[in-house]
A and B are shown apart, each in its own frame.
Chain A
Amino acid sequence: MSARAASAACAAPAATAGWAGILAGVLALFVALPPLTVRSDALVVVLGALALAAGAAALRGGERKLGGAAILAGLLGAGLGYGAAHTATGGLEAAVSWGALGGATLRFACPLIFAALGGLVSERSGVVNIALEGMMLMGAFFAAYGADKTGSWVLGILIGMLAGAALAAVHAVFAISVRSDQIVSGTALNFVALGLTGYMYVDVYGADGTPNDLPQVPEVHLPTSSLGFAGNSIDDQNLLVWVSLVMVVAVWVFVFRTRAGLRMRSVGENPRAAETVGISVQRTRYLAVIASGALAALGGAFLSIGSVHSFTQNMTAGKGFIALAALIFGRWRPFGLLAATLLFGFSSALAQRLPQLTPGAENVATLLQALPYVLTLVAVAGVIGRSIPPKADGVPYKREG
């Protein structure tokens, strides 16, 4: 991709403008951060404006993707750079201590990775899953509940995954067998999961909350802290973070390198043709949706017994929808969604850390929380290349005869 783009850049002035714009946008943020720490709005704004202008030029020259990317880079770079330029230098250095930021990014990304992978499996088989939020919540509660009752975090995770799979099975029945509208069914299950977990939480734990001695998923300590920023990011991560990264590879291998994965994709693209060659559309979709629930629940389990070691009502707070956004932004591909979740995780980490360390500008960081949603809006609108779902995604299948 980059080689092709680079050669194209020599040929087409529009592409050159696009790449220059992206560079300017990145620079706009870079100059405001340590070690340069430029404290001038003018430079940031000028660089941002340059990026916008170059992006516009690229768009006019017919480079849709590059132009859009340049405009985005300009907006982001100028916005973030402006914010950074207005924060105290000392606070900034602490906030942007890259190791801690990298670690937080992974922690924020982990539940999103699991849930987005779940969404990928379901949607690749042709069933839209907007109940990821509910499935995560089921996983979060039942993992905590299971860990508490059995005294084992392994069993807790398994019970959480079973609960997510159970909710997904209901979605499967309605979406596949009943052929009801998949969006309606998903919306309904989000309500059901919210109410059910809340009900059980109040009924079992009441006002006291989950016990303090809840079994926890262990952290993995690596002797990498001397290896600079990357080592600092990974030296103290939860086991489930590593599992999530492995799952990305595993799901990629399954979906794109195995017979079963190929069959699943064919069911999601053209169920009629798949059925003709002897693949059971119903069975494939049922398995995919149920697996999707288990995966999303694993993300929920990370939230409760991996990350904060307790459960609170509605603790997913929209993370299932961020995962959905990451799935779309990553174009229904495992590594695409990994990149998206890391980007979203980074924006969350930045939003969390900036206000703690920079009195006066706390609130600007809040806007970073909206970034995943805005980027996804931009992505589905096709400004930077359009995200195209599996062809039969969301279409109920009905056998003939």
Chain B
Amino acid sequence: MTAPTPSDHRGPAATRLLRHLSVGGAVAPLITTIVAFFVGGLVVLATGKDPLTTYKAIFDGTGLNWLLPWSGDRALAATNLQQTLINTGPLILCGLAVAYAFRAGLFNIGAQGQYTMGTIAAVYAGSSWAGLPGWLHVVLAMAVAALAGAAWAGIAGALRASTGANEVITTIMLNYTALWIGVYLFGLGGPLQANDQPDVPVSNDIVGGAKLPVFWGDKDLQGLHVGIFVAVLAAGIFWVVLNRSRLGYEARAVGFSPPAARSAGIGVGRTYVVTMAICGLFAGLAGSLDILGWQFHLATNDISASQVGFLGIAVALLGRNTAIGTCFAALLFGALSQGTSVRNLDPAVFQPELAQNLTTVIQGLVVLLVSADVLLASVWRRRRARAGGGGAAAAPPTPTTLGSVSP
């Protein structure tokens, strides 16, 4: 997994995956999702509960019923939808962090670590510099968080570029290194542990001026903050950079074929570093949204319990590494985790602790089936190749791959 030259010849795993994923459009992800929910329903059935009422209860908890104006409790639905969208923002950004790397033929498993570095930087910036004007403080804290994520991801990119170290391995290791750095910083006796709570492993609270403004719902009851716009805006930037800029062109060219990109004069190593750094920007920004938007402080438990970055992998794969797809996939997963949260799901219908695990199973199945729809895609292509008079050998990668994946 680490040898540099052979892996370039056969194309990195992510490149192969990318080629497959370019076939099929939005239909396959939909089928994938439906099948995953179906299997999840079987699990519910196996434990003697009714899958349909369970899914209905989860759906009501997501707040998405707010979009159906005839539904019952509007205020409750609005509150739930706010929480769903609070979840969705960081998921979009972590999805983008994984998706951007995929497009360059890199597999960024490290969104979790980059997210963690972002939360650490955001909570540090947000709890210091108390004198700053509010908007400047928010922007600075977000920038610092994004840069922290970029630096962390850049390590993996630089190692790939300079020594050929496989980014799957390095990003996994960086995830856990980030986790323990966080636990060290905010643990008892740690350098950044709260000044006024010596017995609690938590950071200082961020100051009021560093909080993201709330635009829907009650400011004191965790209404929806503007982070969702930041995330959607980032998805737009992702699309522009990828499809309309030199950086994105080089990334896609390297993702398509590193040797070809090299002979076209593109610095492959440099592209790896820049691409990973851009991924880290997205993931680090995701961390800042959670800290500045609703958490306001960071406990060591938050760091070890967080799964946002790992879910980013599922989001990116389901969203087929496109900007729009990532947004919808993030909404699905954001809604799922909201709909199964303890305060939303009625235990009489279905135990929320069970439902949270059910969500994890469904997420896993989605990812597993995404890798299977790769099979469908290749079978489909082979059929076509055969119908066109071609041999049984695998069809060569479609030459339109570079352009055709855009949303």
Binding site for B on A (CB under 8 A): 128, 130, 170, 174, 178-185, 187-196, 198-199, 202-203, 313, 317-318, 321-322, 324-325, 328, 360-364, 366-367, 369-370, 373-374, 376-377, 380-382, 386-389, 391, 393-395, 398, 401
Q: Which of B3, B170, B174, B367 contacts A188 (CB 8 A)?
A: B367
How far does the Cβ of B137 sit from chain A's closest Cβ, in whole Å? 28
A contact residues around B375 at 8 Å (CB): 178-180
Q: Which of A191, A199, A321, A401 contacts B176 (CB 8 A)?
A: A321
How far does the Cβ of A33 sit from chain B's closest Cβ, in whole Å? 22
How far does the Cβ of B160 sit from chain A's closest Cβ, in whole Å? 10
A363 touches B371 (CB 8 A): no
Chain A proximity mask over B372-390: 1 for CB below 8 Å, otherwise 0: 1011001000000000000
Q: A174-B368, A373-B177, A380-B2 are in contact. Are A181 and B374 (CB under 8 A)?
A: yes
Q: Which of B14, B169, B179, B313 contacts A187 (CB 8 A)?
A: B313
Q: Which 6 A-B pairs have the closest CB atoms?
A: A191-B364, A195-B360, A180-B371, A195-B361, A192-B364, A188-B367
At the interface, yes or no: B183 with Cβ under 8 Å from chain A? yes
B163 touches A366 (CB 8 A): no
How far does the Cβ of B5 sit from chain A's closest Cβ, in whole Å? 12
A184 touches B180 (CB 8 A): no
B159 touches A381 (CB 8 A): yes
18 more contacts with CB within 8 A, not counting A192-B364, A196-B43, A373-B173, are A130-B168, A181-B14, A181-B374, A183-B109, A184-B17, A188-B366, A188-B370, A188-B371, A189-B364, A191-B364, A195-B361, A202-B353, A367-B184, A370-B176, A374-B177, A380-B165, A381-B165, A398-B394
Question: Once the chains are docked, how many angstroms separate the CA of A198 from the CA of B361?
Answer: 9
A contact residues around B109 at 8 Å (CB): 183, 187
How far does the Cβ of B250 sit from chain A's closest Cβ, in whole Å? 23
Q: A194-B360, A195-B359, A380-B166 are in contact. Are A387 and B172 (CB under 8 A)?
A: no
B364 touches A188 (CB 8 A): yes
Question: Once the chains are docked, how many angstroms separate the CA of A187 from the CA of B176?
Answer: 16
Question: Once the chains are docked, how many angstroms separate the CA of A8 from the CA of B364?
Answer: 53
At the interface, yes or no: B365 with Cβ under 8 Å from chain A? yes
A377 touches B170 (CB 8 A): yes
Q: Which of A184, A196, A381 contacts B361 (CB 8 A)?
A: A196
B189 touches A192 (CB 8 A): no
Closest A-chain residue to B392, C-beta based? A401
At the interface, yes or no: B324 with Cβ under 8 Å from chain A? no
Q: Which of A179, A180, A184, A370 contacts B181 (CB 8 A)?
A: A370
At the interface, yes or no: B10 with Cβ under 8 Å from chain A? yes
Question: Once the chains are docked, how many angstroms separate the CA of A370 from the CA of B13?
Answer: 28
9 pairs, A vs B, C-beta closer than 8 Å: A170-B368, A183-B109, A188-B370, A195-B364, A363-B190, A370-B180, A376-B169, A380-B165, A381-B162
Q: A174-B372, A389-B3 are in contact. Are A181 and B13 (CB under 8 A)?
A: yes
B contact residues around A194 at 8 Å (CB): 357, 360, 364
At the interface, yes or no: B120 with Cβ under 8 Å from chain A? no
How far does the Cβ of A386 sit from chain B's closest Cβ, in whole Å? 7
How far does the Cβ of B186 sit from chain A's closest Cβ, in whole Å? 9
At the interface, yes or no: B317 with Cβ under 8 Å from chain A? yes
Q: Which of B1, B361, B362 contacts A394 (CB 8 A)?
A: B1
How far does the Cβ of B213 sit from chain A's closest Cβ, in whole Å? 34
Closest B-chain residue to A174, C-beta based? B371
B357 touches A198 (CB 8 A): yes
Question: Once the chains are docked, how many angstroms separate the CA of A174 from the CA of B184?
Answer: 39
At the interface, yes or no: B47 with Cβ under 8 Å from chain A? yes
Question: Once the chains are docked, how many angstroms separate the CA of A107 from the CA of B200?
Answer: 29
Question: Once the chains are docked, how many angstroms separate the CA of A384 from the CA of B202?
Answer: 37
Question: Once the chains are docked, how many angstroms separate the CA of A289 from the CA of B17?
Answer: 21
Closest B-chain residue to A363, C-beta based? B189
Binding site for A on B (CB under 8 A): 1-3, 6, 10, 13-14, 16-17, 43, 47, 107, 109, 155, 159, 162-163, 165-166, 168-170, 172-174, 176-177, 179-181, 183-184, 187-190, 304, 310, 313-314, 317, 351, 353-354, 356-368, 370-372, 374-375, 378, 392, 394
Q: A191-B314, A363-B189, A363-B190 are in contact. Are A386 and B173 (CB under 8 A)?
A: no
Closest B-chain residue to A134, C-beta based? B364
A contact residues around B6 at 8 Å (CB): 391
B368 touches A188 (CB 8 A): yes
- Residue among A188, A361, A391 facing the most chain B CB atoms (10 A cut-off): A188
What's the dominant secondary structure at chain B's contact region? helix
Q: Which of B1, B16, B371 contacts A185 (CB 8 A)?
A: B371
Question: Once the chains are docked, how many angstroms separate the CA of A388 from the CA of B310?
Answer: 27
A contact residues around B190 at 8 Å (CB): 363, 366
Closest B-chain residue to A361, C-beta based? B189
Question: Once the chains are docked, how many angstroms separate the CA of A337 from the CA of B84?
Answer: 44
Q: Which of A128, A178, A198 contacts B372 (CB 8 A)?
A: A178
Q: A188-B367, A202-B354, A401-B392 are in contact. Are A395 and B10 (CB under 8 A)?
A: yes
A contact residues around B314 at 8 Å (CB): 191
B47 touches A366 (CB 8 A): no
B43 touches A199 (CB 8 A): yes
Closest A-chain residue to B165, C-beta based? A380
Question: Once the chains are docked, how many angstroms separate the CA of A363 from the CA of B190?
Answer: 6
A184 touches B177 (CB 8 A): no
How far does the Cβ of B346 sit from chain A's closest Cβ, in whole Å? 16
Q: A180-B372, A377-B174, A380-B159 are in contact. Are A366 and B183 (CB under 8 A)?
A: yes
Closest B-chain residue to A366, C-beta based? B184
Q: Which of A203, A362, A381 contacts B163 (CB 8 A)?
A: A381
A185 touches B357 (CB 8 A): no
Q: A195-B357, A389-B2 are in contact. Are A394 and B367 (CB under 8 A)?
A: no
B contact residues around A364 at 8 Å (CB): 184
Question: Once the chains are docked, how many angstroms separate the CA of A185 from the CA of B166?
Answer: 18
B173 touches A377 (CB 8 A): yes
B contact residues around A190 at 8 Å (CB): 364
Closest A-chain residue to B166, C-beta based? A380
Question: Once the chains are docked, how many angstroms separate the CA of A205 from the CA of B107?
Answer: 38
Q: A183-B107, A199-B354 are in contact. Are A188 and B1 (CB under 8 A)?
A: no
Question: Once the chains are docked, how many angstroms separate the CA of A325 from the CA of B314?
Answer: 23
Question: Once the chains are docked, how many angstroms separate the CA of A324 from the CA of B109?
Answer: 14
A203 touches B354 (CB 8 A): yes
Question: Once the chains are docked, how many angstroms separate the CA of A128 from the CA of B162?
Answer: 23
Q: Which of B165, B353, B357, B367 contacts A184 (CB 8 A)?
A: B367
Closest B-chain residue to A362, C-beta based? B189
A contact residues around B313 at 8 Å (CB): 187
Question: Once the chains are docked, how many angstroms separate the CA of A364 from the CA of B189?
Answer: 9
A contact residues around B365 at 8 Å (CB): 188, 192
A contact residues around B107 at 8 Å (CB): 183
- Residue among B6, B47, B371, B392 facing the most chain A CB atoms (10 A cut-off): B371
B contact residues around A380 at 8 Å (CB): 2, 159, 163, 165-166, 169-170, 173
